[in-house]
Amino acid sequence: MHNIGNDIVDLNLAKTESNWQRKGFLEKQFTQKEHEEIRNADNPFIKVWQFWSMKEAAYKSYTQKVETRFFAPQKFECSFISLTEGVVLFEDHKYYTNTSLNSFYIHTIAKELKSEDAIYFKIGSSKNIHIDLKTQLAIETGVLSDEIVKIKTTVGAPLFYHKKKILTKSCSISHHGNYGAFVFTLEN
């Protein structure tokens, strides 16, 4: 099974709540190669949070597979294919990322294969993201949203069911500040 992950960063909240320039922050979170890219970036603030979003999305995909949580952001190394496409390497795993970026948020989806099953995603209000997800699942599966049940895996990843039949192959929900996002693939 190939898992997907996603992460969203509310840039206004990141500006006020996270001092990424404090001593030790970059060293704990990023590789030496990433430090150099951050230092040389036109906008280091955006580069920090794009890397963070890529790492988190890849981490969420990986932890669904191994069903173990841990903290090791430095072990996930990011590189770019283009402005919005990237690759995150972790041990012998490779995750392809796609990042949406605007003045309000950064959102990244990570997956193990470049071409994979159809991925459904939405970015919206953090307050409504769970309702939006069930609504989208209902549209895609023809099941009433009231009959869709969420059950979390041992690592907290959500899976959705209808009468004990699994609907989602992989699902990731994220929220930060004013924004929430989800991605899922359907079980065949």
Domain residues for the domain of 133 are 4-186
Cα–Cα distance measured from residue 46 to residue 42, given in angstroms and rounded to the nearest whole number: 9
Q: Give me the chain's average pLDDT, please.
A: 91
Kindly state the tokens that stand for 57. 């999305």
**What is residue 33's predicted lDDT score, i.e. its pLDDT?**
95
pLDDT tens profile 124-178:
888 889 899 999 999 999 999 999 999 998 888 899 999 999 999 999 999 999 9
**What is residue 163's predicted lDDT score, i.e. its pLDDT?**
94
**What phi and psi values does residue 54 have, to the nearest 5 degrees?**
-65, -45
More confident residue, 117 or 156: 156
Domain count, the chain: 1
Cα–Cα distance measured from residue 9 to residue 177, given in angstroms and rounded to the nearest whole number: 8
pLDDT at 51 over 80: yes
pLDDT tens profile 59-77:
999 998 877 777 888 899 9
CATH of the domain at 33: 3.90.470.20
pLDDT tens profile 93-115:
999 999 999 999 999 999 987 66
E strand or H helix at 63: helix 44-66
pLDDT at 1 over 60: no
pTM of the model: 0.92
Residue 73's contacts (CB-CB under 8 Å, 6 or more residues apart) are 28, 29, 30, 52, 55, 59
**What is residue 118's predicted lDDT score, i.e. its pLDDT?**
67
Cα–Cα distance measured from residue 29 to residue 135, given in angstroms and rounded to the nearest whole number: 36
- CA-closest candidate to residue 113, choices 147, 87, 134, 152: 87
Cα–Cα distance measured from residue 84 to residue 99, given in angstroms and rounded to the nearest whole number: 5
More confident residue, 119 or 149: 149
